[in-house]
Structure 1
C-alpha cells in the first residue's frame, strides 16, 4: 500500500495551489513514474501509486476541502483518542483519523456501522487508514481508482514504397484499435521516422483519464537503383574502360523520373562519384543531391586488339 504522506508534498505543490497547478504536477509525475515506462522497477510503481493516491484526494474539490479542514482542525477542538486512532467529530458521528505522518482526515458517517454506533464504515483487512481511504476517498490510501488514469500508448508501423516516401502526402490509416484516421506522411520521410498522434492510443480506463497516444513508425522499402545517405541519393553507372579513358556522356534517370545528362571526363577512375546537384531527396527543409558512382567494365579483347593495345601501352610507357 502506498504511503499516506501529505498529498501536497507528494505532488510537489503548495497547499494553496490551484486545481490547474495540481493537475499539471500530477500529469508530469504520473508520466515520469508510469509502470509502462518503468517496467520491472518496484520503486517507480510504488511512487506512481503514491502520486495517484495524492491526486485522488486533492484533485477532487470536495475531498480536498474535507482534507484541508482536517489539517487545520484535526481534533474538532474537544475530544480524546478513541479506537483505531480516531477522534469523534464535534456533535456527530464523524471521526478524525491520523495518518503515519501526523496529519488527520475527517470521516463523516451516515449510518449504522460496526459495534452498533453510527459510523457508516466497516474495516476490511487490518482496519487501517488505507481501508478507510478506500471506502470514503475512492481508494486514495490504496492503489487508487482509475478515474484519472490515462490509456496506454500504442505503437504501430506503416510501410511505404520508396516512391511513396519521396512524395509524402495524405493517407488514410486504420489504427490498431480499428479507428480510421488520416495522416500526413512527411515529404521525403526516412526509414524509421516516427510520428505521434495525440489521443489516438488506448482508451483511458477511467471516465476522466486521457487516452493514450499512437506512435507510428514508417518503414520504407529499399529501392533497387538508389540508396540514401541523409537527403542525398546514390546510384551506379557503368562505363567501359575506353570510355573511362576517353570520356563520355551518359543520360541518367533521377528518382523522380527526370532524365539528366552526365558528363564523364577523360581519365575518370573507377569508384569516382559525380554529383548532380539538387536531384536528391526533397523535404520541407530543402533538397539533397544525386551522386553517381562510376564503375568501369573491362572488355575481353581479341588477339589482334590485344596486340595493338600492348603496342600502344609500350609506346606510352604504360607496359
Structure 2
C-alpha cells in the first residue's frame, strides 16, 4: 500500500481521543496531555512510548491546522463515499478506483502538491497528462548486536555483518546487460505511470508495460536478472552510545537497501542485546548491586567497600540497626544518561544467615537470645487481636 494511503487510513481523531466535532482548543488540550504522558523521557523503560509519541505528534500536525484538517476531513468524506477503496468506513472502491494511486486524486482535489503538507504528502500529476515518475525509498534492514554489561555502559564501536539488497556491480544498478542500455517505455513515455479517465476524474496508476520503472530492459543483466540489485553481505561499523539499554533499537540512516528511481537508501535498524552481569543489574539509568552483610554488621553498624560499574571502589556507611533490604544510593555512579550525566548506584544490603554454626558461635547466640524481648514482640503481634479458644 502506498504511503499516502497508509496515513489517509489513520483515524487521527481516534489517536487523540477526540470527536470529529472537537474544537481547536479541545484538540490542542488532548495533544498536550498525550504528548506529556507518552514522552520517551517520562517512559524510559517503555519501548512503545516513542512510537506513541510520534503518532500523537503526527495526528496533531494534521488536526492542529485548520487548512490541513479541512482537507483531511474532505478526503475521508470522499473515502467513505467509495473513492480510493480501503478508507476508514469506506467501500472497497468505485468502478476502477480500486488500486489507483490516491495521491493523484489528492492533486486534483487540492491542486499541485495537494496533500497540503500532510505526512508523506502525495505528489500529483495534472489531468490528462502522465504523472512524474516517483522515487522509492530503499528497504530497511535489520541487524542485532550483542554487548557485555560493561560495553553497554561505556559505549563501543562495533562492526556488524549484514545481508540485504545492494546495487549490482555488473550493471551499476541499471538492470541492463553490460554494453546495452534500457529503452524508454513507449506506453508511459518514461514516466512510469499512465492516466486513466474515470468519469469526471483522471488519475494515474503504475504502467503495466514497464512495471512503473519507465524503462524497458531488452537485455537483462545476467548477474541481477534485470533488477539492478543483488543480495550480498557487507560490513557496517556502528557507534553504540554509552548507557544503551537491552532491547534498544539504534537507527543507522541511509545504510540499508538501495532506493529505486533515485530515491534514498533505507536505514539499518540495530537491536541491542545486553548480557546479564553476575553482580550488577539495571533499573533505568541506575545500576543495582546487592551486598551481603553479617548480622553483627547490621546490628552494630559498619563501613562497606563496594565496587562500581567502572571498576573503582567506594565506601558506604551502614548505620547500626540496619534492616535487611535497605538501599543506599551512590550518586553519579550509575549508567550514562542520554542527555548527559549519570544515574546512581543503588546498593542494597542483605543480611546473611549462616547455614552452619560453630560451637562458639552457637554459645554466643544463646547468650544473645537470653536478652531477646519476646514479650514485646508478642504484644506487638497479639495485643488487641480477637482471642481464640
TM-score, length basis structure 2: 0.47
Counterpart residue number, 1:315: 371
Structure 1 residue 10: Cα displacement:
3.0
Whether contact under 8 Å (1:198, 1:214) holds in the other structure is yes
In angstroms, what is the RMSD of aligned CA positions? Answer: 3.2
Corresponding position: 1:193 with 2:248: yes
Flag the 1:273–1:5 CA change in 2: closer, same or farther, 3 A: closer
Whether contact under 8 Å (1:157, 1:216) holds in the other structure is yes
Counterpart residue number, 1:170: 157
Alignment of 1:285-296 (within 5 A): 285=339, 286-296=341-351
Corresponding position: 1:252 with 2:306: yes
Whether contact under 8 Å (2:106, 2:115) holds in the other structure is no
Flag the 1:196–1:2 CA change in 2: closer, same or farther, 3 A: farther
CA distance in 1, matches of 2:144, 2:298: 45
Flag the 1:303–1:10 CA change in 2: closer, same or farther, 3 A: same
* Structure 1 unaligned regions, length at least 5: 30-50, 59-63, 68-104, 107-136
Flag the 1:152–1:26 CA change in 2: closer, same or farther, 3 A: farther
CA distance in 2, matches of 1:171, 1:12: 50
Whether contact under 8 Å (2:107, 2:115) holds in the other structure is no
TM-score, length basis structure 1: 0.56
CA distance in 2, matches of 1:161, 1:242: 36
Whether contact under 8 Å (2:142, 2:268) holds in the other structure is yes
How many residue pairs end up in the alignment? Answer: 209
Flag the 1:213–1:6 CA change in 2: closer, same or farther, 3 A: closer
Question: Deviation string for 1:152-175 (max 9, x for gaps)?
Answer: 222221111111111114333333
1:224 partner SS = coil
Structure whose CA Rg is larger: 1
Residue in structure 2 matching 1:265, options 316, 319, 335: 319
Counterpart residue number, 1:14: 110
1:164 partner SS = helix
CA distance in 2, matches of 1:280, 1:159: 21
Counterpart residue number, 1:156: 143
Counterpart residue number, 1:28: 120
Whether contact under 8 Å (1:248, 1:264) holds in the other structure is yes
1:187 partner SS = coil
Question: Deviation string for 1:145-201 (max 9, x for gaps)?
Answer: 8x5233222222111111111111433333333343332211111111112222222
Whether contact under 8 Å (2:136, 2:263) holds in the other structure is yes
Alignment of 1:1-319 (within 5 A): 2=97, 8-11=104-107, 14-15=110-111, 17=112, 21=113, 28=120, 55=123, 58=125, 64=126, 67=127, 105=128, 137=130, 148-177=135-164, 178-204=233-259, 206-285=260-339, 286-299=341-354, 300-303=356-359, 305-315=361-371, 317=373
Whether contact under 8 Å (2:136, 2:264) holds in the other structure is yes
CA distance in 2, matches of 1:24, 1:315: 83
Whether contact under 8 Å (1:12, 1:25) holds in the other structure is no
Higher relative contact order (CA 8 A, sep 6+): 2
Flag the 1:172–1:305 CA change in 2: closer, same or farther, 3 A: closer
Structure 1 residue 287: Cα displacement:
0.8
2:349 partner SS = strand
Structure 1 residue 254: Cα displacement:
0.6
